[in-house]
Amino acid sequence: MHRDGRRGERYSDGSLDATARIVDAGADSDDERVVEAALRPKRLAEFPGQARVRDQLGLVLEAARRRGSVPDHILLSGPPGLGKTTLALIVAAELERPIRITSGPAIQHAGDLAAVLSSLDEGEVLFLDEIHRMSRAAEEMLYLAMEDFRVDVIVGKGPGATAIPLELSPFTVVGATTRSGLLPAPLRDRFGFTGHLDYYDAHDLTTILRRSAGLLGVDTEEAGISEIAGRSRGTPRIANRLLRRVRDWAQVHGSGHVDLEAAHQALRLFDVDDAGLDRLDRAVLDALCRRFGGGPVGLSTLAIAVGEESDTVETVAEPYLVREGFMVRTPRGRAASAKAWSHLGLPPPRDLATQDPLPLHEGPGRLGG
């Protein structure tokens, strides 16, 4: 199989390319990360949305500055693309301290973590992205380091091994996670401040898009910006990506301005509809309604119907469909809501019943097959 290089297209066998979606909240490539870095706000005062977390974090940082001490360790949780990395960089900027960036998957041994911690300068910020993916041995070393600014280095092996304490310069950990429930309680308890980032509303997204358009040198009209915001799934990373594609269409086919016509045409080209659904999302709903009468239907059966792996449907398409009320997860499987039938332009069955949904916080599960 091969990809044709475009987001959300199909493999040569006809299956959907779910790993490269324009509405994927993950960073797509090194090039996109470079663009993201240029668009990031640099200070808390520039950070749009998330007002409660922003104000709380601002208080913590200002108090630490006035005391002349390092602030409490900070844990930021929430879905991808909402600004956790940006806030970590802002923490360092507000404190006027350097930041060291690494990730949970990069720290699989206690020695890896010890090397990083022992090289930190006083007051330095250590950003641990995907902190829930650290190894257990590294987690246990981090407990002591966060609590007492000390690590125990094991010298020797077997019964003769000796733990030698190594004092560390005071530092601040900023941890980021999309799955805070996977963090062990002893690690969570060592964070003095915890902030959860939620999806953005349309007003905050339009603010972000206006700022990004200015930095990109793109002329915009309010209707075009609003249209992009409404299809961005509450996620700034997706909003900025869609803005760049609409800009491209406007420069090649339009007037050069990001207006309503450019937004409509570009987003139609990239298969993002007015609800923010892409081809994979619609394929799942279409199969659920047309082939299975709205369900409930088991996950594996639904996945086969759209030519995808069960994990792809469960982790890539399902979260947004459930969050927006297009799909319901029930003990008997997945079911389409009245909203799904309406979105597809199909009449709902007369016996469409209200399903008893499972709580979203339970996360993905192998329900109904």
Segment 195-208 mean pLDDT: 94
Confidence of residue 153 (pLDDT cuts 50, 70, 90): confident
Q: Which two tokens stand for residue 337?
A: 């809501």
Domain that holds residue 68: 50-196
Give yes or no: residues 100 and 144 share one domain: yes
Same domain, 131 and 161: yes
Mean pLDDT of 114-134: 93
Confidence (pTM): 0.82
CATH number at residue 290: 1.10.10.10
pLDDT over 80 (residue 7): no
Kindly report, residue by residue over 284-335, the tens digit of the pLDDT: 999 999 999 888 999 999 999 989 888 888 888 888 899 899 999 988 899 9
Q: Catalytic residue, from 129, 204, 259, 281: name it.
A: 129
Q: Point out the domain boundary residue: 178, 196, 214.
A: 196
Which is the catalytic residue, given 21, 237, 247, 282?
237
The residue out of 236, 269, 302 marking a domain boundary is 269
- Angle between helical axes of 136-148 and 110-118 (0-180°, round to 10): 30
Residue 138 clears pLDDT 80, i.e. is over it: yes
Same domain membership, residue 80 and residue 190: yes
In the chain, the percentage of residues whose pLDDT exceeds 90 is: 59
Tokens coding 197:
């980032």
Average pLDDT value for the chain: 85
| CATH number, domain containing residue 78 | 3.40.50.300
**pLDDT one-digit tens code per residue, 268-277:** 999 999 999 9
Type of residue at 116: V
**Residues 127 and 209 reside in one and the same domain:** no
Could you tell me if 290 and 255 lie in one domain? no
Given a cut of 70, whether residue 19 has pLDDT beyond it is no
Q: In this predicted structure, what is the pLDDT of residue 252?
A: 94
Residue 34 lies in a domain: no
In the set 84, 241, 245, 334, the catalytic residue is 84
We report the CATH number of the domain holding residue 223 as 1.10.8.60
Q: What is the pLDDT of residues 89-113, one digit of tens each?
A: 999 999 999 999 999 999 988 888 9
The pLDDT, as a whole number, for residue 64 is 94
Hey, which residues does 327 pair with through a beta bridge?
336
Is 237 an active-site residue? yes
Q: In this prediction, what percent of the chain has a pLDDT beyond 70?
A: 86
Residue 41 inside a domain? The answer is no
Tell me the pLDDT band of 28, cut-offs 50, 70 and 90.
Answer: low
Whether 161 is covered by a domain: the verdict is: yes
User: Per-residue confidence at 158, pLDDT binned at 50, 70, 90?
Assistant: low
In Å, how far from its chain's centre is CA 159? 45
Residue 84 is among the residues annotated as catalytic for this protein: yes
Do residues 190 and 208 share a domain? no
- Asked if residue 300 and residue 218 are part of one domain, the reply reads no
Q: In this structure, is residue 10 part of a structural domain?
A: no
Examine the pLDDT at 361 and tell me if it is beyond 60.
no
Marked catalytic residue, from 178, 206, 220, 312: 178
Our count of domains for the chain comes to 3
39 in any annotated domain: no
Burial (CB < 10 A; 0-12, 13-18, 19+), residue 211, is: middle
Positive or negative, the CA dihedral 31, 36, 39, 41 is: negative
Neighbours of 34 (CB within 10 A): 9
The active-site residue, picked from 7, 17, 21, 85, is 85
Find the radius of gyration of the CA atoms of the chain: 23
- Band the pLDDT of 181: cuts 50, 70, 90: confident
Instruction: Examine the fold and report which residue of 176, 196, 216 is the final residue of a domain before the chain moves on.
Output: 196
Find the mean pLDDT for residues 188-195. 94
Structure tokens at 120: 């930190």
Q: Are residues 88 and 72 in the same domain?
A: yes
* Tokens read off for 69: 């001490």
Say whether both 69 and 127 belong to one domain.
Answer: yes
